[in-house]
Amino acid sequence: MNPTLVAGREADRQDVTELSRPQALEAGSGDGTDSGSGGRGEPVIQVRNLAVEFTTPTRHVQAVRGLDLTVYPGEAVALVGESGSGKSVTSLSLLGLTGPTSRVTADEFRIVGRDVRGLRDRGWRQIRGRELGLVLQDALTSLDPLRTVGQEIKEALRAHGANKSGADAKVEALLAEVGFPDPAVRSHQYAHQLSGGLRQRALIASALAGDPKLIVADEPTTALDVTVQAQILDLLAARRDAGTALLLISHDLAVVSRTADRVLVMRDGVVVEQGSTAQILTAPRHEYTKALLRAVPSAATRGQRLSSGDSGEPEPALRLAQVVQEVGTAASAEEAAPPVLRAAGVSKSFEVSGRRRLRAVVDVDVTVGRGQKVGIVGESGSGKSTLARILLGLIAPDSGRVEVNGQSWRSDGKAGRLRLRRAVQFVSQDSLGSFDPRYTVEEIVAEPLRGLLTRAERQERVREVLAAAHLEADLLKVVPRSLSGGQRQRVSIARALALRPDVLICDEPVSALDVSIQAQILDLLSELSQVTGTALVFISHDLGVVHHLVDDVLVMHRGQIVEQGPVDQVFNAPADPYTQTLLRAVPRLAVR
């Protein structure tokens, strides 16, 4: 097991008997039974032998089975596990939101002492909001785009019996509680006018409107940068300390270690291990839990594989080498070759609010050598994605120059730009959104090859890159929505590989993936770079991922690069105050 995962910083280390809150919670037995707690008053949630099944005319799925869960006031319990493990289904069953195709059964199912077995929609509506509040991952789609934040919270207040009089004051008080600046002004803004952090705070304020006894937070910080993530976690912890129970669903074990008192590890709908956060993270008993912990990227995992299984065998690496053996831009003498990607003095601004201009990128220099892995980090709005679009030639800088293999994006006309574009490919965070939903996997991967290869050559190349991305040939005729998140991201990488590029630009490619799938994608990217010489520009808000993967890192703040250098040097001894702030905000995988 990774030794850095055991305790983190020395200041965070305590005796295991002092780490669990409340003290009466003992380490779980790992057999799926809930250890419970004594002397904590009435549980907010008391569930025994929960089972959730989904039935359609063509399919029957048992999503959760045999689950026991007890959550007390002022306690934080985390559910962790891979996608499809049953975490979110469990949380939805607690809210009566599993849908009409589901069947939920339990030997005992009580919310604040009330037996909710057989409860109908009207009864659940009385419980949701008043007893249970829900905070989802994607605040932008969870908030109504046609209503202001204030209107959204007012509706929640009215739904839970609040009087209209003084509604504005109550909205402002809730926004102030969750840390909104200028709540009287911000309450009149729409979701699209707020940053990701403020949208998530607004969603929490709406969930708090009914003063619930339990907050169910399903991946509430996954898409947020580290500083905003830290603020949201502090807010949830403050509510927990004030006596509100918290059920946290997360694939981020560092977030869990910072927030939770107890952890339930789920796999294939079953709790395979549970106990205090200290026991689960420092002395896991089940092999699945140990594998999850090994898959967490950090400085200590640099140069190591995160995932286990057949993907570590030499054969895929050999296939990768075959895929790119014909790259035509490689120089015979590597030391004499120009950088595969270089930006010099690049700046870009956009007009906002009439005549006001936002300086998104300011006098930035970037150099990426063959096979080099460069990370770009910074908060939302720092200019990372704008810089990526400039490097990709999707937008032109106001000033400065971008070269691919020594040639400018602006030279040689349309034919020259098309040739350069084949050398620079993109892997996005939202792989599903980047695919034509009507296309099969084969058509998606073959699309950039049209006009370059014959049909037979395209089919052969598609199979080569799918094998390189560790995808089976039986997925060729499958459409994207039938794939898992990890499979979709592999298809995105395979499509980028199809043109045998010199550099991949990856914008948050693993932020939405659970820890084990993330490990597989990071291993694939590292393997690709090592075997083929393909360079990587890797943009991420997850500094642990960046430290694990890249050679050098650029730190962006307000459009400028404030610090850059070898990743170990920058992250271990940051010189710029902004870099120091970012690193302090990173959640450590260390129990409280």
Q: Decide if pLDDT at 528 tops 90.
A: no
Q: What is the mean pLDDT of residues 475-482?
A: 88
Task: Please state, in angstroms and rounded to a whole number, the distance separating the CA atoms of residues 494 and 472.
Answer: 12
Going by their DSSP bridges, the two strands 399-404 and 407-408 should be labelled as: antiparallel
What is the longest distance spanned by two Cα atoms in the chain? 77
Task: Please state, in angstroms and rounded to a whole number, the distance separating the CA atoms of residues 134 and 247.
Answer: 10
Given a contact cutoff of 8 angstroms between Cβ atoms, the answer to whether 305 and 516 are in contact is: no
For every residue of 255-307, DSSP letters joined together read: HHHHH-SEEEEEETTEEEEEEEHHHHHHS--SHHHHHHHHT---GGGTTS---
In this structure, which amino acid lies at residue 83?
S
Q: Decide if pLDDT at 343 tops 60.
A: yes
Task: Please state, in angstroms and rounded to a whole number, the distance separating the CA atoms of residues 580 and 283.
Answer: 31
Region for 546 from its dihedrals, namely left if φ exceeds 0, alpha if ψ lies in -120 to 50, beta otherwise: alpha
Q: What is the mean pLDDT of residues 421-449?
A: 89
Task: For residue 184, name the pLDDT band (cuts at 50, 70, 90).
Answer: confident
Q: What is the mean pLDDT of residues 14-20?
A: 32
Task: Please state, in angstroms and rounded to a whole number, the distance separating the CA atoms of residues 237 and 257.
Answer: 12
Task: Please state, in angstroms and rounded to a whole number, the distance separating the CA atoms of residues 498 and 458.
Answer: 9
Tokens at residue 13, please? 């280390």
Tokens at residue 372, please? 């080099």
Given a contact cutoff of 8 angstroms between Cβ atoms, the answer to whether 330 and 356 are in contact is: no
Q: Which of 343, 346, 404 is nearest to 370 (CA)?
A: 404
Output the average pLDDT for the chain: 82
pLDDT at 160: 67
Q: Decide if pLDDT at 37 tops 60.
A: no
Which of these ranges, 26-40, 146-160, 181-195, 475-489, has the smallest mean pLDDT? Answer: 26-40
Q: Decide if pLDDT at 325 tops 50.
A: no
Q: What is the DSSP letter of 190?
A: B
Task: Please state, in angstroms and rounded to a whole number, the distance separating the CA atoms of residues 341 and 346.
Answer: 13
pLDDT at 161: 66
Element (H, E) at 176: helix 167-177
Task: For residue 404, name the pLDDT band (cuts at 50, 70, 90).
Answer: very high
Q: Which domains does the chain have, with CATH numbers?
A: 3-131+212-294 (3.40.50.300), 310-585 (3.40.50.300)
Q: Decide if pLDDT at 182 tops 80.
A: yes
pLDDT at 489: 84
Given a contact cutoff of 8 angstroms between Cβ atoms, the answer to whether 519 and 439 are in contact is: no
Q: What is the mean pLDDT of residues 389-415?
A: 88
Question: How many C-beta atoms surround the C-beta of residue 401 within 10 A?
Answer: 14
Summarize pLDDT for 203-248 with one digit per residue, the tens. Answer: 888 888 888 999 999 888 876 778 878 888 888 898 899 999 999 9
Tokens at residue 43, please? 């549980």
Q: Decide if pLDDT at 558 tops 60.
A: yes
Summarize pLDDT for 266-314 with one digit per residue, the tens. Answer: 999 999 999 999 999 999 999 999 999 988 888 888 888 888 654 334 3
Q: Decide if pLDDT at 181 tops 90.
A: no
Task: For residue 354, name the pLDDT band (cuts at 50, 70, 90).
Answer: low
Q: Decide if pLDDT at 570 tops 90.
A: yes
As a whole-number percent, the residues of the chain with pLDDT over 70 amount to: 85
Q: Decide if pLDDT at 93 tops 90.
A: yes
Residue 421 CA, chain-centre distance (Å), reads 28
pLDDT at 511: 77
Note the residue count of the chain: 592
Q: What are phi and psi of 345, to 5 degrees?
A: 60, 40
